[in-house]
Structure 1
Amino acid sequence: MYEYVLKTNQLSKKFKGHTALDKVNLSIRKGSIYGFIGQNGAGKSTLIRMVTGLAFPTQGTIELFGASEEQALIQARKRIGSIIESPALFPHMTASENLEANRILRGIPGKDCVPRMLEQVGLQGAGKKKAKNFSLGMKQRLGLAIALLGDPEFLILDEPTNGLDPMGVVEMRELLKRLNRELGITIMISSHILSELHLMASHYGIIHRGQLLEQLTAEELNEKCQQYLFIKVDDPGKATAVIQNELGTADFEVMQDGTIKLYSRIEQPGKVSTALFSAGLEIEKFMPMGEDLESYFTKRIGGNPNV
């Protein structure tokens, strides 16, 4: 029995001398929700396209459900559902007709899966409405229903919440969590909305400039996302002197707006606030905080994640 639905070994891809993917060793455990994080051009879509058979590696190997030989991979890919970029829909067809057309094209037996998939994604009431008249959220749901045809064991989703309004993002998140929890589907999600990934992923992979920098579990991420005391006072310079001289630590960071992140003495907030107050400083804000996935990602790649 396989433990990982996907493993890559030294997977690389070059385009006309440009290395899009550089010796990536990635592993996705069965039953997990894997958040795949990286900037535009980092190599996320390149890897996804190779895993789904839409592109071929320059070197390295791909293993799906324990299979790595070419013919075995072709069969293994039938156990995958995917949305890459935007869902491919027939605009003049209804949701039901779109699913039926895709079912026939993919040779999936039995029409009973069509209403079942519509109910699975909450589109059973779409009726005769054409896909061209769907909201973006409905189109994303229909794309997911198409990906779910054939009852895949592994879902690969490239930016599934892209362009959705806040309510649509929440609905998609809860739907994916339910598919993972109730049906045991392993899900790989490539997304720029890091705060959203933080609410559902059980595992993470961080890719930057074609290289996989790190893989970690949600528990490991929570441990690594440093906790700190957030301090805002009327005189940041004086406050740093107090922190260094009175509290005996240099484990802090002064932000551009003058606020201070103190990474030590977290268990002694009273001692810290007393030292600042005794020095005559006016304390405007003082609270314990923790870094989120976006902050950790920014530090890990050594720059601005939006660049």
Structure 2
Amino acid sequence: MSYIIKTSRLTKAYEGKEIVSDFDMNVKKGEIYGFLGPNGAGKTSVMKMLMNLVKPTSGEIELFDEPLTNTSYEVFRRIGSMIEYPVFYEKLSAKENLDLHCEYMGYYNKNSIGEALEMVGLKNINEKPVKSFSLGMKQRLGIARAIITKPELLILDEPVNGLDPVGIKEIRNLFQMLSKEYGITLLISSHLLSEIEQIANTIGVISNGRLIEEVSMNYIKEQKTDYVQLVSKDHKKACFVLENILNISNFKVIAEDTIRIYESEVSQTVISKKLIENNVGIESISKHNTSLEEYFLNLIQQGKAG
């Protein structure tokens, strides 16, 4: 199997405190890799090390099957990135900023500027200076700068930050197109788990600087379980009815007023009827299935417990 990114025991410490520890990441060629973790977990630090912006304390990084060293320069012609808040020459226009970037990268296809701006929805901005752009427009321009050279690998840190729901959907479609039509590999960090769930092939979950899970989205989808969620202030009475009248044992109290019922043979209608017959007050009852968000939160809790 061909990997675009491989790290081995990657570690970064500041003043003796490790913020990334023994980190082993494997990003396959052509996939969209969703990089998830709470704020401060170490996602941005890992991305900065991949881009040689921060030097590891120890461990190894391989990009395109070559070790990353202090003298690795040419490899970055094959990579587009946006890490943290994108910075521009504020008095210049979007086109002028992209033109300078192409000069810096040694990329001289001038048609690519218009193509990139159109891809991110910024084609009608004329010569407006970037200082007049909204946060969402600057995010779009940052993505345009990352993709303009048609890189083989994109490293994007919270790329849809500041975008409205329509913009998020447009950028999601763009990422899927870049992956499918151009074969670009994408490493994307995001706190919007529902977005990652829709586009990622693999997720990596980092907590307290350690990679606690690296798993395919197909595997997560196979683990999805249907359940009925019951919210009731009479949760003790509800548990009695479930166990002794409905003979349901496969349920879990997840909060003081919330119960999840995993017994698929008993319908929601039957559960509601028996609860009402036994004077159990129902705030709400609804059918769900487990999502990436729940999978992620369970992993984070397990990571903290470990």
What TM-score does the superposition give when structure 2 sets the normalisation length? 0.89
Aligned residue type for 1:142: L
- SS of 1:199's partner is helix
- SS of 1:300's partner is helix
Please list the CA deviations of residues 84-136 of structure 1 after superposition, one character each: whole Å capped at 9, or x if unmatched.
11112111111111111111122223423222322332322221111111222
Aligned residue type for 2:52: G
Number of the residue aligned with 2:99: 100
Contact residue 67 and residue 73 of structure 1 kept, 8 A: no
Backbone CA RMSD of aligned residues: 2.5
Take 2:128 and 2:207, find their aligned partners in 1: how far apart are those partners?
Answer: 42
Take 1:113 and 1:96, find their aligned partners in 2: how far apart are those partners?
Answer: 10
Aligned residue type for 2:253: V
- SS of 1:123's partner is coil
Number of the residue aligned with 1:183: 182
Q: How far off is 1:159 after superposition?
A: 0.9
Q: How far off is 1:283 after superposition?
A: 4.9
Question: Identity over aligned residues, as a percent?
Answer: 39
Range 254-263 or range 49-58, more displaced? 254-263
Matches within 5 A, 1:222-241: 222-233=221-232, 235-241=234-240
Matches within 5 A, 1:33-182: 33-68=32-67, 70=69, 73-182=72-181
Number of the residue aligned with 1:15: 14
Range 166-175 or range 71-80, more displaced? 71-80
Please list the CA deviations of residues 135-191 of structure 1 after superposition, one character each: whole Å capped at 9, or x if unmatched.
222211111111113210111111111222233222222222222222221111111
Number of the residue aligned with 1:268: 266
Q: How far off is 1:36 after superposition?
A: 0.6
Task: Give the direction of change, closer, same or farther, for the CA distance of 1:64–1:72 in structure 2 (3 Å limit).
Answer: farther
Range 7-16 or range 206-215, more displaced? 7-16
Name structure 2 gaps, 5 residues minimum. Answer: none
What TM-score does the superposition give when structure 1 sets the normalisation length? 0.89
Count of aligned pairs between the two proteins = 303
Aligned residue type for 1:22: S
Take 2:23 and 2:118, find their aligned partners in 1: how far apart are those partners?
Answer: 38
Contact residue 90 and residue 130 of structure 2 kept, 8 A: yes
Range 5-14 or range 238-247, more displaced? 238-247
Contact residue 266 and residue 288 of structure 1 kept, 8 A: no
Take 1:91 and 1:242, find their aligned partners in 2: how far apart are those partners?
Answer: 65
Contact residue 81 and residue 146 of structure 2 kept, 8 A: yes
